[in-house]
Amino acid sequence: MLLELATWLEPPHVLDGLELPVTRLEEISWFEAIRSHPVVKALIPIPVFLVAAPIIWWLFRGWWREADEEATRFRSQLSAEGRVDNRPLACLLITAIILTLQEYYGGRQFYDSLIRPALSEYQAEGHTWIKFKKWDEFYGYVWWSGTRIAGYTIIPFGIWKLLFPKDSLLDMGLRVRGFISHIWIYGVCFLIVVAAMGLVATQPEFLRYYPFYKHSSRSWHDLMAWQSIYWLQFLGLEAFFRGWMVGAMRHSLGSASVLAMAVPYCMIHYGKPYEEAQGAIIAGVFLGSLALKTRSIWGGLLVHIAVAVSMDLLSLWSRGAIPKVFWAPG
């Protein structure tokens, strides 16, 4: 009787002969396993900084000394006249306000809560050319890029001219003259960054993060449209950090204006891959020092654009997601 009961309770072999879907995990090397360990990953920037610091010091020590001597003379003159330079105070206060506004009103969350419903309603009224369903994500990045351009250029440069009308805005990174003679340094900087990208190109965090616009792989038109607004926000970013901030504070702070700029510049990279956020410290000091001497942002802008394009294409290529058509249907 027990044998019959066991036979009756035995589940039917309904799965016999079926092959279950299996996700094959890629094997990683021992080197990647060690490098991706949280403790090791957190400590990697230390030897990088130890190598980069003396190189940066050797390259820019003369320029830093010149800037510090000019700042010392400027402060001495103001002190003799019984005056104080309010530029650093004004610059840092404006910076804090602008970056806070961008964080809370210049991103996807604000777009989703206010602009996205308005666009959807506008299309529902018969304006089908918007193609909201197809371009929804892109419109979000148009808002993001537009707020960066306005927040990084129109607002700070406009306010500065009102506060300090005698200051030349051209001296805030907009000159071309010094850029040409130092173009080779920017080229070396780009090659170093490209080499660093090769080390992180296969990291899941990198592949998930880039490109920001996830429909970049849909068509070449999507990719080029994304790159156009991406490049424009880089123009605003360089004008703000390397141009306006360094230009506004160098009179009183000298070379310290570069470090004062590098702090918020590093912080806007929070949320990006860890290595990139740490690398922003080195990039900020390097490009800031060049802008301090040349009073030009154009070399840094070209490096930023070249690196951004390379990172997006490298990520797409690593995932086999390079666009195959020029125009996506729909």
Length of the chain: 330
How far is residue 202's CA from residue 28's CA, in Å, rounded to a whole number? 10
CB distance 244 to 157 below 8 Å: yes
Report the SS3 class of residue 270.
strand
**Contact present, 189 and 303 (Cβ < 8 Å):** yes
Angle, helix 132-149 to helix 116-124, in steps of 10 degrees = 140
Cα 82 to Cα 246: distance, rounded to the nearest angstrom: 25
Q: If you ran DSSP here, which 8-state letter would residue 23 be given?
A: P
pLDDT by position in tens, the chain (length 330): 544 544 545 555 555 555 656 566 566 666 667 777 788 878 888 898 899 899 999 989 999 999 999 999 999 999 999 999 999 999 999 999 999 999 999 999 999 999 999 999 999 898 889 998 999 999 999 999 999 999 999 999 999 999 999 999 999 998 887 667 777 778 877 777 777 776 666 677 777 888 999 999 999 999 999 999 999 999 999 999 999 999 999 999 999 999 999 999 999 999 888 888 998 999 999 999 999 988 899 988 988 898 889 889 988 998 889 999 999 887
pTM of the model: 0.85
For 2, the token pair is 């027990």
pLDDT at 202: 66
Compute the half-sphere exposure of residue 305: CA atoms within 13 Å on the CB side of its CA: 19
